[in-house]
């Protein structure tokens, strides 16, 4: 609501990561629960905050988008995308633990939430020639799968698909996380079967089909938060 | 028996997440909870509560009548929506004044600082006169539809600057993802009141169910709790009301009396079409005012309309896809026809149920059903169009022989079958996006049927398919058709049909029967229906000459036969037809004598087909048509040929030979069949229709000269005649005039 545009055409002045963090920080200082934003006098509460690094009017304008959000989320849920915020019971604890509530992003996903238990092995693909080799990447994925590890990669990287392909070829489990269009990825033949048989989870930090203004380094942070082991290939 | 709707919001989660957790997850989506607060914060405080006097002033202003009073229930509805911010379903007869309710409510809400009202209505053309009513309340109203697409940007900007109070959109727009992204998101931000016109369309228990409304329901479920919602309907029975309530959650219901005092009802069992036509012509001629005649099919609408015109009655057909010269687009044509009736420039519209919801002509004096409707709910809605603003009107239901079979067909086609759904999803899983044209190559289903099927699947939640641009994709969502529910719904429809059959024969008061069937528990008889009176309310009895004329009309009701112009790509590999069939190689416009098994010649064609011999009466009928009613003076046929068959080699050839003899022409069977292909009638879409004929025929170039009559017995897609015409022309024949005995296609 405060951080995301709801469609490609949405031109709402959403909060940047820093503004969001500042708002959450000040809001937490009031000692109020998030429920307070549901109250009739939430406007006066927001205005009473010191507003260092964000603007109360901006927040209130954003909070007026209730119906728009209902429409947008109907579209997401309608095609089977689930949406998890840090307040949800199923939200991965490891993200809140490692990043803190303020930085914990909303997750838009397809597939098995059970794979997000913070124990996966992350594979970070760099730019060297080695990691551009499709077969090598597939082999790597297969190898990790054979050792029973859930593999997590930045799905927007070149060859991320190859790694996941390798994982799935050995009946392993994988997680792909990025900021791209989740519906497009989930509906592609590369990933569809894996998602449907619960061995692959696709996550996006932005709503489907929307420009979310999420920095790429946030993707890396979230991957780190969801991983127990890290493999870097520079 | 009762079956509960199952909200299928299961997601492909891990096995460790149990069902209740899944539900919790969707309910507790953090952002949504956060949002629910916002409009709560905007609730007017108690000091702002609108009083009845102010609302009455608004009503009087809207109606331009200083002495106007609220009708029963109008103020109550306004109060519940404006002051209590309820979600309310209003069930009131048409003409009760629902638009006054939502316009007055909008005025009051706007005066207290709320955002604009969005009205979702299936019939925008007729909302235009409501826009005038809105203006009288100084409400600025705008409709956003396909006719003003270029102005959407401008309109959205104006909405952003709060320059409109009322925004009208259609349910189709609401379900369109592109429209949602481009337009709706911007509108929705400050919405003050949501009005859902014809809210019974939400329920798939009713025959009016529209898939687009299902997505509307999903949006409604997620709206902030105290966004006022006003649903209106004139036709819901308890079953439908309960279903709408169960889908929308907490929704109040306000229900008025359905009785229409001015309407005199009658039912007549008239099995054969000729008698019915004769009755109809005499009846309409005897009526002072204007009316609607309802038929079950487009073909009947056309036919009945021609018959009435032949009898000196100003009648026009009306259905989805109807065309009129001067109207390149069917919607504008429909709008034109609606206006003709509204302004009494036509005596009668002969319409399918496409002339439906929202059509309001207060002085309509009769509604006749040429064939029985599918349900009492539908019947009440249609017959209830008569006599809204006048003292007396007539509603007659004629039951025909063919009705039962037509409804059985409708029920069979209403829902997709499991095997087709499974195969379609499998095909979509094999690639990354298919257009409907692409899918035609894999399925022997018509374009329309495929489009309907995809639409059906796309409104499931979660949906196994998603449309992006022009292509359809398989989403990673497991899906199984809820066959139990479809079986249940089909059973419901059978029961509804039984109720209609019962209505035709009941000896109790007809109005009471309708009201009771709609759960309006009144016990009083109307005193004016044919059962109350003990005699007919219309006094029409066609004489035997009129019936003979009608029979002759039915027997002369041949149809033009248009051949195809464009082949499916890659379907004719052997004949090497790539796409457009060149003009010089096409057959001309032909004729089809009848409709398969119809009351006129169609029954004779069916009998002949089954017996393996077409009777001489059919030869005479075709010769009569050619000589009397088919103007071939520009290219009189010189010889006759026919489509050959390997299975019944003499059936058509024998008929064509006798026809040639009768017309004094040469019969020359120059077309040979080389392959025993699958029956053409089993081929449904363009690709399969074409592909099934590739290389099947060859033509002997040694043929008589001059225009030729090309004869076949049945025609469905017309591809056989198209290909044969092409081959004849390619081998040097003169003009080809295609001719068939019966059309076996739907419509
Ligand atoms: Zn009666």
3-state secondary structure B519-551: CCCCCCCCCCCHHHHCCCCCCCCCCHHHHHHHH
A183 closest CB neighbour out of B21, B24, B466: B466
Q: Is the pLDDT of residue B176 over 80?
A: no
CB contact under 8 A, B30 and A192: no
Same structural domain, A26 and A127: no
Dihedral of the CA atoms B306, B308, B311, B315 (nearest 10)?
-90
Cα distance between residue B601 and residue B607, in whole Å: 10
pLDDT at res. A4:
67
Distance B253 CA to ligand 1 centre (A): 28
CA distance B462 to chain A (A): 5
The pLDDT assigned to B45 comes to: 41
Average pLDDT over residues B184-199: 78
Half-sphere exposure of A232 (CA within 13 A, CB side): 3
DSSP 3-state assignment of A151? strand
The Cβ of residue A127 has, within 10 Å, a number of other Cβ atoms equal to 11
Does residue A124 sit in the same domain as residue A221? yes
Q: Is B714 helix (H, G, I), strand (E, B) or coil?
A: strand
* In-domain check, residue B487: no
Structure tokens at B55: 């609302």
**Interface membership of B215 toward A (CB under 8 Å):** yes
Residue B443's pLDDT is 81
Q: Mind listing the pLDDT tens digit for each residue in B712-742?
A: 999 988 899 999 999 999 999 999 999 999 9
List the CATH number of the domain containing B458: 1.10.10
Q: Calculate mean pLDDT across residues B383-401.
A: 92
Among the partner residues B29, B223, B431, nearest to A83 by beta-carbon distance: B29
| Structural domain for A212, as ranges | 81-233
- CA of B367 vs chain A CAs: smallest distance (Å): 40
Over residues B117-133, the pLDDT tens digits come to 988 887 655 666 667 77
- The angle that helices B124-136 and B98-111 make with each other, rounded to 10 degrees, is 50
The pLDDT of residue B495: 92
Q: Is the pLDDT of residue B152 over 90?
A: no
Per-residue pLDDT reduced to its tens digit, A161-211: 999 999 999 999 999 999 888 888 898 888 999 999 999 999 998 888 665
> What mean pLDDT comes out for the span B361-367?
92
What does the pLDDT read at residue B648?
86
Kindly report the CATH number assigned to the domain that includes residue B309. Answer: 3.40.50.300
Domain annotation covers residue A153: yes
Same domain for B565 and B585, yes or no, is yes
Which of B450, B480, B510 terminates a domain? The answer is B480
**pLDDT (tens digit, 9 = 90+) per residue, B686-717?**
888 888 898 899 999 899 999 999 999 999 88
Task: Judge if A151 and A35 occupy the same domain.
Answer: no
> Order of strands, edge to edge, in the sheet holding B141-143?
B141-143, B166-169, B117-120, B193-196, B229-233, B87-91, B252-255
Chain A neighbors of B223, CB-CB under 8 A? 66-67, 70
Q: What is the CA(B517)–ligand 1 centre distance, in A?
A: 14
Cβ pair B352, B319 in contact under 8 A: yes
Same structural domain, A150 and A214: yes
Q: Which residue has the higher pLDDT, A30 or B363?
A: B363
Q: Is the model more confident about B492 or about A36?
A: B492
Say whether B475 and A87 touch across the interface (CB within 8 A). no
B526 shares its domain with B593: no
User: Residue A60: is its pLDDT beyond 60?
Assistant: yes
Whether residue A5 is contained in a domain is answered as no
B113 to chain A nearest CA, in Å? 14
Q: Choose the final residue of a domain: B552, B586, B614.
A: B552
For chain B, the residue count is 747
Residue B125: per-residue pLDDT: 54
Q: Indicate whether A10 belongs to any domain.
A: no
Phi-psi region of A53 (alpha: psi -120 to 50; beta: other; left: phi over 0): left
* B188 in reach of chain A (CB within 8 A): yes
- Residue ending a domain, among A45, A71, A97, is A71
A3 to chain B: nearest residue by CA? B31
| Residue tagged 């641009």 (tokens) | B469
pLDDT for residue B205:
62
Say if residue B97 is in the same domain as residue B182.
yes
**Does residue B574 have a pLDDT over 50?**
yes
Residues in chain A: 234
Q: Which residue, among B205, B218, B244, B199, has the nearest Cα to B8 in the 3D structure?
A: B218
- Most B CBs within 10 A among A79, A85, A116, hence the mutation to make, goes to A79
Distance CA B545, CA B557 (A): 18
pLDDT (0 to 100) of residue B197: 85
Contact A80 B431 (CB under 8 A): no
Residues B306 and B427 in one domain: no
CA A118 to chain centre: 14
Write out the E strands in B263-379: 263-269, 291-294, 315-318, 348-351, 366-369
Pairwise CB contact (< 8 Å): B462 & A79: yes
Output the CA B536–ligand 1 centroid distance in Å: 12
Distant-in-sequence contacts of B440-449, Cβ < 8 A, 24+ apart: B440/B568, B440/B685, B440/B686, B440/B687, B440/B688, B441/B568, B441/B570, B441/B687, B443/B685, B444/B682, B444/B683, B444/B684, B444/B685, B444/B688, B445/B420, B445/B684, B445/B685, B446/B684, B446/B685, B447/B685, B447/B686, B449/B684
Structure-block tokens of residue B101: 């309710």
Higher pLDDT, B553 or B519: B553
B13/A9 touch (CB, cutoff 8 Å), yes or no: no
Q: Tokens representing A56?
A: 């109360």
The domain total for chain A is 2
Examine residue B97 and state whether it is found in any structural domain, yes or no. Answer: yes
Q: How far is CA B729 from CA A39, A105, B672, B710, B736, in A?
A: 79, 69, 15, 12, 8
Confidence of residue A234 (pLDDT cuts 50, 70, 90): low
Give the integer Cα–Cα distance in Å for B226 and B113: 15
Are residues A202 and A101 part of one domain?
A: yes
- Mean pLDDT of the region B385-401: 92
Q: Is residue B352 one of the residues assigned to a domain?
A: yes
pLDDT at B82 over 50: yes
Same domain, A152 and A181: yes
pLDDT for B220 beyond 80: no
Tell me chain A's radius of gyration from C-alpha atoms.
19
The continuous run of DSSP H or E covering B188 comes out as helix B185-188
pLDDT of residue B8: 32
Domain shared by A37 and A59, yes or no: yes
Q: Are residues A110 and A61 in the same domain?
A: no
- Tell me, what's the pLDDT at B553? 92
- Same domain for B535 and B576: no
Return the higher-pLDDT residue of B140 and B40. B140
Residues of chain A positioned with their CB less than 8 A from the CB of B32: 69-70, 73
- Is residue B127, in this structure, part of any structural domain at all? yes
Whether A100 and A214 map to the same domain: the answer is yes
Q: Are residues B476 and B570 in the same domain?
A: no
pLDDT band, residue B217 (cuts 50/70/90):
confident
Confidence of residue B372 (pLDDT cuts 50, 70, 90): very high
Alpha-helical (H) ranges within B463-537 are 483-505, 510-517, 530-533
- Whether A67 and A87 share a structural domain: no
Residue A3 located in a structural domain: no
Please count the residue pairs, one from chain A and one from chain B, whose beta carbons lie less than 8 angstroms apart.
Answer: 201
Report CA A26 to chain centroid distance, whole Å.
Answer: 24
The verdict on B136 and B182 lying in the same domain is: yes
pLDDT of res. B1: 36
Closest approach of chain B CAs to the CA of A54, in angstroms? 18
- Looking at the fold, whether B359 and B431 belong to one and the same domain comes out as no
Nearest to B117 by CA among B59, B147, B162, B73: B162
Q: What is the CATH number of the domain that holds B619?
A: 3.40.50.2020
pLDDT of residue B128: 64
Same domain, A34 and A86: no
Would you state the pLDDT for residue B29? 37
Q: With beta carbons less than 8 A apart as the criterion, state whether B668 and B701 touch.
A: no
Q: How confident is the model at residue B286 (pLDDT cuts 50, 70, 90)?
A: very high
The reported pTM is 0.76
> Over 60: is that where the pLDDT of B24 sits?
no
- A120 falls within a domain: yes
Residue A57 pLDDT level (bands cut at 50, 70, 90): confident
Does B27 fall in a domain? no
A209 within domain boundaries: yes
Pair B631, B701 in one domain: yes
| Residue B713 to residue B651: CA distance in whole angstroms | 9
One domain for residues B521 and B453:
no
| Of B384, B376, B378, residue with least CA distance to B359 | B384
In the block, tokens 């199923």 appear at A90
pLDDT digits (tens, 9 = 90+) for B439-453: 987 887 888 889 889
- Is A196 found in the same domain as A119? yes
Q: In angstroms, what is the span from residue A223 Cα to ligand 1's centroid?
A: 74
Q: Is the pLDDT of residue B19 over 50?
A: no
Identify the pLDDT of residue B41.
33
For chain B, the domain total comes to: 4
Minimal CA separation from A92 to chain B, in Å: 13
User: Is B17 domain-assigned?
Assistant: no
What's the average model confidence in pLDDT over B468-479? 91
**How many whole angstroms separate alpha carbon A208 and alpha carbon A180?**
8
Residue B268 and residue B167 in one domain: no
Q: Is the pLDDT of residue B657 over 90?
A: yes
Mean pLDDT of the residues in chain B:
84
Pick from A38, A189, A196: CB nearest B12: A196
Domain that holds residue B427: 417-480
Instruction: State the pLDDT at residue A88.
Output: 83
Tell whether A155 is covered by a domain. Answer: yes
Q: Which long-range contacts (CB under 8 A, 24 or more apart) does B16-23 make?
A: B16/A114, B17/A90, B17/A113, B17/A114, B21/A89, B21/A90
Q: How confident is the model at residue B135 (pLDDT cuts 50, 70, 90)?
A: confident
Extract the tokens encoding B529.
């229906």
Would the CB atoms of A66 and B13 count as touching at under 8 Å?
no
Query: Do B67 and B205 reside in the same domain of the chain?
Result: yes
Tell me what pLDDT residue B23 has.
Answer: 30
Nearest to B41 among A10, A40, A193 (CB): A40
Q: State the DSSP code for B634.
A: T
Q: Would you say residue A125 lies in a domain?
A: yes
pLDDT for A12 equals 65
């Amino acid at each position: 609501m405060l951080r995301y545009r709801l469609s490609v055409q949405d031109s709402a002045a959403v909060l940047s990561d820093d503004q969001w963090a500042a708002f959450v920080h000040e809001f937490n200082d009031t000692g109020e629960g998030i429920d307070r934003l549901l109250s009739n006098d939430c406007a006066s509460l927001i205005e009473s905050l010191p507003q260092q690094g964000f603007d109360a009017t901006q927040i209130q304008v954003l909070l007026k988008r209730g119906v728009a959000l209902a429409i947008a989320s109907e579209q997401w849920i309608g095609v089977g995308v689930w949406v998890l915020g840090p307040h949800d019971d199923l939200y991965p604890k490891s993200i809140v633990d490692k990043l803190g509530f303020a930085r914990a992003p909303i997750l838009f996903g397809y597939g098995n939430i059970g794979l997000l238990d913070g124990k996966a092995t992350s594979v970070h693909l760099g730019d060297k020639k080695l990691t551009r080799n499709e077969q090598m990447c597939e082999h790597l994925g297969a190898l990790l799968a054979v050792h029973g590890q859930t593999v997590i990669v930045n799905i927007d990287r070149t060859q991320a698909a190859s790694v996941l392909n390798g994982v799935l070829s050995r009946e392993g489990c994988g997680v792909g996380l990025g900021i791209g269009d989740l519906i497009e990825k989930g509906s592609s033949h590369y990933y569809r079967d894996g998602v449907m048989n619960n061995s692959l989870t696709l996550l996006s930090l932005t709503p489907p089909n929307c420009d979310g203004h999420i920095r790429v380094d946030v993707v890396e942070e979230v991957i780190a938060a969801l991983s127990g082991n890290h493999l870097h290939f520079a | 028996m009762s079956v509960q709707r199952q909200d299928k919001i299961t997601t492909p989660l891990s096995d460790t997440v149990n069902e209740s957790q899944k539900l919790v997850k969707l309910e507790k989506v953090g952002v949504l909870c956060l949002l629910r607060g916002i409009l709560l914060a905007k609730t007017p405080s108690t000091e702002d509560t609108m009083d009845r006097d102010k609302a009455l002033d608004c009503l009087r202003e809207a109606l331009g009548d200083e002495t106007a009073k609220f009708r029963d229930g109008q103020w109550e509805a306004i109060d519940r929506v404006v002051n209590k911010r309820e979600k309310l379903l209003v069930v009131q007869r048409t003409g009760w004044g629902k638009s006054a309710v939502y316009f007055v409510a909008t005025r009051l809400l706007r005066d207290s600082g709320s955002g604009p009202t969005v009205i979702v209505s299936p019939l925008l053309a007729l909302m235009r006169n409501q826009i005038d009513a809105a203006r009288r309340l100084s409400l600025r109203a705008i409709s956003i539809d396909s006719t003003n697409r270029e102005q959407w940007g401008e309109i959205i900007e104006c909405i952003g600057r709060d320059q409109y109070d009322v925004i009208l959109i259609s349910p189709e727009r609401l379900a369109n993802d592109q429209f949602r992204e481009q337009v709706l998101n911007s509108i929705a931000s400050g919405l003050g009141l949501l009005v859902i016109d014809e809210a019974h369309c939400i329920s798939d228990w009713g025959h009016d169910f529209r898939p687009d409304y299902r997505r509307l329901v999903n949006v409604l479920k997620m709206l902030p709790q105290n966004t006022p919602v006003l649903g209106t309907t004139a036709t819901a029975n308890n079953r439908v009301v309960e279903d709408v309530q169960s889908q929308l959650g907490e929704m109040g219901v306000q229900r008025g009396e359905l009785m229409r005092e001015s309407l005199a009802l009658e039912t007549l069992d008239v099995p054969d079409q000729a008698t019915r036509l004769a009755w109809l012509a005499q009846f309409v001629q005897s009526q002072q005012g204007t009316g609607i005649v309802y038929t079950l099919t487009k073909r009947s609408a056309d036919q009945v309309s021609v018959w009435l015109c032949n009898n000196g009655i100003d009648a026009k057909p009306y259905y989805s896809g109807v065309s009129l010269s001067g109207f390149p687009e069917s919607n504008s044509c429909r709008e034109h026809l609606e206006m003709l009736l509204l302004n009494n420039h036509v005596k009668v519209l002969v319409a399918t149920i496409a002339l439906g919801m929202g059509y309001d002509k207060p002085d309509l004096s009769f509604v006749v059903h040429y064939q029985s409707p599918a349900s009492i709910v539908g019947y009440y809605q249609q017959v209830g169009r008569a006599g809204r603003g006048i003292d007396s009107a007539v509603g007659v239901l004629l039951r025909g022989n063919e009705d039962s079979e037509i409804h059985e067909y409708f029920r069979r086609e209403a829902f997709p079958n499991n095997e087709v759904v499974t195969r379609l999803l499998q095909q979509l899983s094999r690639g990354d996006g298919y257009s409907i044209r692409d899918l035609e190559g894999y399925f022997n289903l018509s374009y329309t049927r495929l489009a309907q099927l995809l639409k059906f699947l796309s409104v499931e939640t979660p949906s196994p398919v998603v449309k992006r641009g022009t292509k359809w994709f398989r989403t990673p969502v497991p899906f199984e058709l809820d066959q139990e529910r479809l079986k249940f719904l089909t059973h419901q429809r059978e029961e509804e049909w039984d109720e209609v059959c019962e209505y035709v024969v009941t000896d109790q008061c007809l109005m009471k029967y309708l009201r009771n069937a709609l759960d309006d528990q009144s016990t009083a008889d109307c005193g004016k229906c044919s059962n109350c009176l003990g005699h007919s309310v219309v006094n029409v009895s066609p004489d035997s000459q009129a019936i003979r004329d009608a029979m002759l009309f039915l027997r002369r009701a041949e149809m033009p036969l248009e051949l195809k112009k464009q082949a499916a790509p890659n379907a004719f590999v052997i004949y090497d037809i790539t796409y457009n069939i060149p003009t010089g190689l096409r057959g001309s416009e032909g004729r089809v004598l009848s409709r398969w098994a119809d009351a006129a010649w169609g029954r004779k064609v069916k009998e002949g087909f089954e017996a393996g011999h077409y009777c001489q009466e059919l030869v005479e009928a075709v010769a009569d048509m050619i000589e009397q009613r088919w103007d071939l003076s520009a290219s009189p046929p010189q010889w006759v040929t026919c489509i050959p068959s390997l299975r019944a080699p003499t059936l058509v050839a024998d008929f064509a030979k006798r026809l040639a003899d009768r017309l004094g022409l040469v019969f020359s069977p120059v077309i040979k069949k080389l392959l025993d292909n699958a029956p053409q009638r089993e081929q449904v879409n363009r690709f399969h229709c074409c592909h099934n004929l590739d290389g099947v025929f060859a033509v002997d170039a040694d043929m008589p000269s001059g225009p030729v009559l090309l004869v076949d017995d049945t025609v469905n897609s017309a591809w056989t005649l198209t290909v044969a015409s092409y081959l004849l022309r390619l081998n040097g024949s003169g003009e080809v005039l295609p001719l068939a005995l019966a059309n076996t296609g739907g419509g």
